[in-house]
Amino acid sequence: MEFEDISLEIADGIAKITMRRPDKLNALRDQTGDELQAAFDVVENDPDVRVVVFTGEGRAFGAGYDLSIIEPDVVPDLAKVLEEHFNPLTVKMRKSRLPIISVVNGPCAGASVGLALSGDIVIAGKSAYFYEPFVGLALTPDAGNTIFLPRIVGRIRAAGAMFLGDRISAEEALSWGMVWRVYEDEELMAKADEMAQKLSSLSPKSLAHTKNLIYEASEPGLSRLLDLERDAQGDVCKGPEMKASIARFFASRR
């Protein structure tokens, strides 16, 4: 598969998957999800790959789903978007044999938060922040957000983040347990590379079993919960509030 929205580099047992729509702050479209699924299939089936580094190009990790591509007079089938393009990606990442380092190099919003938290080790630059804008857009959190965030930070913090849509700074995310480490922005990728080198030197079988045990302990019923997210998003996107909220959102940015 030819990649347009992402890049995949493999060297010395380390795969680097980078989302590459920097002019859109790496906002996700259906094609992005498909390309990410294909990239993770490639690395999963390459016996020489030991670890994955997952990040975004430019000044952002990801701005969530690209709502600007939604036509004004069309009701989007967001349930289908999740079912076909993003929920399978979340499952692939969590069930992969490979340790995945999510490198949050800047703003990380919406569905991109779910992708970041689908990694096994999440690190962030000091300027990074996390943002759950869904309810403010008359949508519901998806891409694994309602699965990972409550289990990582607890029900009260998850509700506050999702209902109110306040930005969560990198340092706050560290204190909440969303990230493993926070580094100076200019050091972030070097630290990710060091971590990847260490993981690539460890026993692949030991890492794979350990990842699977963590998955079984922390995310039972993952597929069912992703289905619930899909159904909820499919319901709310049919209402008039969503279109009006998105229109106000983009008007406020002009």
pLDDT in tens, 224-254: 999 999 999 999 988 777 777 777 766 666 5
Res 233: pLDDT: 94
Structure tokens at 201: 């030197």
pLDDT greater than 90 at residue 1: no
For residue 2, the number of C-alpha atoms closer than 13 Å in the C-beta half-sphere is: 1
For residue 73, the number of C-alpha atoms closer than 13 Å in the C-beta half-sphere is: 0
pLDDT greater than 80 at residue 54: yes
Res 142: pLDDT: 97
Structure tokens at 116: 């970041």
> Percent of the chain beyond pLDDT 90?
87
Give the Cα separation of 62 and 51 in Å (integer): 21
Mean pLDDT of 174-184: 98
pLDDT in tens, 35-52: 999 999 999 999 999 999
Beta strands in the chain (DSSP E): 6-11, 14-19, 51-56, 100-104, 107-109, 121-125, 129-131, 168-169, 181-183
pLDDT greater than 70 at residue 65: yes
pLDDT in tens, 109-127: 999 999 999 999 999 999 9
Res 241: pLDDT: 77
Q: What is the mean pLDDT of the chain?
A: 94
Length of the chain equals 254
In CATH terms, the superfamily for domain 6-186+220-252 is: 2-enoyl-CoA Hydratase; Chain A, domain 1 (3.90.226.10)
CB 179 within 8 A of CB 124: yes
Query: How far, CA to CA in Å, does 203 sit from each of 101, 192, 208, 209?
Result: 17, 19, 9, 10
pLDDT greater than 90 at residue 72: no
H-run or E-run covering 152: helix 145-153
> Percent of the chain beyond pLDDT 70?
96
pLDDT greater than 90 at residue 216: yes
Res 118: pLDDT: 98
Mean pLDDT of 212-233: 95
Res 70: pLDDT: 75
